[in-house]
């Protein structure tokens, strides 16, 4: 085709003016006579140019692939339809290993790989709209997440559009995260255990000083020390758990080594005092590390909510707001009936996508994907919100490992400069995604016969 630069410029300007939603670039290109599947590539280039203009940043480590779309294939033996990325080279059936044939069925010959707004060498980095946050963080963010091939990127972009329409997301972010490590001792007698606890308590300042020395590397210090006990048969347990406040870094490796050194000092002090113990260990079960427990203190709490006038919400839904509230209650109760205690809906996809895109913590724990959704009427407004009880993140590189170039680039384009901004953006994205999903389900726009599925 002829040089598309003028066409890309025209669409980019339309996006800047607000006349063209970025997720509708494919349709606009088809209307202008661009043939499929070339329009997917040009749409991705257009969004890339749009993102660079609104962010003021140039992409250095991310690029747009020449074939950012999905192509359908069929196994002639099993009649299975595969929707593979257009650049896929392995065209064999994963069931019987037969060679796949191009699918020429009644569905579209090509379907968009929606996530390839901007694509890296390994992951699809999706443009997921922009979101305005206010409250404890006041900022506009450009959302880039690693969502994978699918419609979630569009759903999240639409959710952010709705949230922005009604004033943006009100966010709350705890100023500090918390990390924990627990030293434990096993004694043969509860009286000896009690004496040991008194001795450790009397020497607690020395033990805290050792931990603080190690935690100083990541700008943290011990905020609390908790003593607890337990028993099983003839074994009597003593827990001494150190909690440290983290302003920016992750710091969980630092507290592990530091509490390990404190445990060695405690052992020496107990031996000198003639207190015998059966075993001295790091009691990993008590510290809340990676465990979905109400006492889990790892990470920081973040929340976001949006306020929508009830009348506007009912006009948008086409039904009473009570039906929207009932749907959310139905979901909440369904989670409880399954024996879980937090909702993990679209949020788990958004959260893992942002962690993966920014590379801030490649070992993201399951507990980070916990969320609580709430909705209620307050005066004349519907309040819809999401609470993330334990967001574990340290944006800045630390001695646990630096953030690689793609992660730094994603954060730079997004406008994230510190941990509080990361948490605020994450909470706002999760809330927007869940809000859009709930609205579309209640409006009957999802999972219905009349909605054409592209892949």
In degrees and rounded to multiples of 5, residue 89 shows phi and psi of -100, -25
- Mean pLDDT across the chain: 88
Give the pLDDT score at 454. 43
What is the signed CA dihedral for 397, 399, 400, 403, rounded to 10 degrees?
Answer: 20
Residue 130: beta bridge partners?
A: 142
**Region of poorest pLDDT, from 175-189, 190-204, 209-223, 401-415:** 401-415
Which tokens belong to 4?
């598309």
* Greatest C-alpha distance within the chain: 88
pLDDT of residue 124: 77
Q: Where are the domains of the chain?
A: 5-127, 169-175+301-442, 177-282
- Worst-scoring range by mean pLDDT, 200-204, 247-251, 321-325? 247-251
- Least confident range of 49-63, 221-235, 367-381, 398-412: 398-412
Q: What span, in angstroms and rounded, lies between the C-alpha atoms of 437 and 443?
A: 10
Mean pLDDT of 68-90: 87
Global pTM reads 0.86
Q: Return the C-alpha torsion angle 103, 107, 108, 110, nearest 10.
A: -40
Which stretches does DSSP call E strand in 136-193? Answer: 139-145, 169-173, 177-187
Are the CB atoms for 328 and 439 separated by under 8 Å?
A: no
- Residue 113's pLDDT band (boundaries 50, 70, 90)? low
Topology of domain 177-282, CATH: Alpha-Beta Plaits (3.30.70)
Query: Of the candidates 340, 388, 343, which has an alpha carbon nearest to the alpha carbon of residue 364?
Result: 388
Q: What is the mean pLDDT of residues 148-177?
A: 89
Candidate from 110-119, 165-174, 305-314 with smallest mean pLDDT:
110-119
- Express as a percent the part of the chain with pLDDT over 70: 88
Q: How far is CA 211 from CA 160, 202, 286, in A?
A: 42, 16, 18
Cis status of the peptide bond prior to 37, with omega within 30 of 0: yes
The per-residue pLDDT for range 200-237, each reduced to its tens digit, is 999 999 999 999 999 998 899 999 999 999 999 999 99
pLDDT of amino acid 455: 37
pLDDT of amino acid 109: 54
Is the domain defined by 169-175+301-442 classed in CATH 3.40.710.10? Answer: no
Span between the terminal Cα atoms of the chain, in Å = 27
């Amino acid at each position: 085709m002829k040089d598309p630069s003028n066409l890309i410029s025209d669409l980019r300007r339309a996006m800047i003016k607000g006349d063209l939603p970025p997720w509708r670039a494919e349709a606009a290109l088809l209307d202008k006579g661009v043939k499929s599947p070339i329009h997917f590539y040009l749409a991705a280039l257009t969004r890339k140019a749009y993102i660079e203009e609104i962010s003021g940043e140039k992409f250095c480590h991310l690029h747009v692939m020449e074939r950012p779309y999905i192509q359908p294939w069929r196994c002639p033996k099993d009649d299975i339809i595969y929707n593979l990325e257009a650049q896929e080279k392995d065209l064999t059936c994963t069931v019987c290993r037969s060679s796949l044939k191009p699918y020429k069925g009644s569905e579209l010959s090509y379907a968009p790989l929606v996530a390839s707004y901007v694509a890296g060498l390994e992951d699809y980095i999706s443009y997921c709209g922009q979101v305005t946050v206010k409250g404890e963080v006041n900022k506009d963010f450009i959302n880039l997440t690693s969502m994978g091939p699918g419609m979630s990127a569009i759903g999240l972009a639409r959710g952010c559009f709705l949230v922005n329409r009604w004033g943006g997301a009100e966010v709350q972010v705890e100023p500090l995260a918390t990390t924990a490590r627990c030293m434990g001792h096993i004694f043969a007698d509860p009286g000896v255990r009690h004496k040991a606890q008194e001795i450790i308590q009397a020497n607690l300042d020395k033990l805290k000083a050792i931990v603080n020395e190690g935690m100083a590397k990541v700008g943290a210090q011990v905020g609390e020390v908790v003593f607890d006990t337990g028993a099983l048969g003839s074994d009597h347990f003593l827990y001494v758990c150190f909690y440290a406040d983290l302003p920016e870094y992750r710091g969980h490796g630092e507290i592990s080594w530091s509490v390990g050194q404190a445990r060695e000092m405690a052992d020496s002090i107990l031996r000198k005092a003639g207190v015998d113990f059966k075993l001295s260990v790091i009691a990993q079960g008590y510290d809340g590390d990676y465990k979905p427990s109400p006492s889990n203190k790892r990470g920081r709490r973040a929340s976001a909510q949006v306020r929508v006038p009830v009348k506007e919400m009912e006009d948008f839904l086409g039904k009473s707001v009570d039906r929207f509230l009932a749907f959310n209650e139905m979901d909440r109760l369904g989670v409880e009936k399954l024996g879980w205690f937090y909702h993990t809906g679209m949020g788990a996809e958004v959260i893992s996508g942002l962690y993966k895109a920014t590379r801030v913590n490649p070992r993201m724990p399951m507990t980070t994907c916990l969320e609580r959704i709430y909705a209620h009427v307050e005066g004349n407004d519907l309040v819809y919100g999401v609470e993330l009880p334990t967001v574990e993140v340290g944006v800045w590189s630390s001695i646990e490992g630096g953030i690689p170039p793609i992660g730094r680039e994603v954060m730079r384009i997004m406008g994230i400069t510190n941990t509080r901004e990361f948490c605020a953006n994450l909470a706002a994205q999760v809330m927007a995604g869940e809000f859009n999903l709930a609205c579309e389900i209640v409006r009957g726009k999802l999972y219905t016969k009349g909605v054409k599925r592209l892949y």
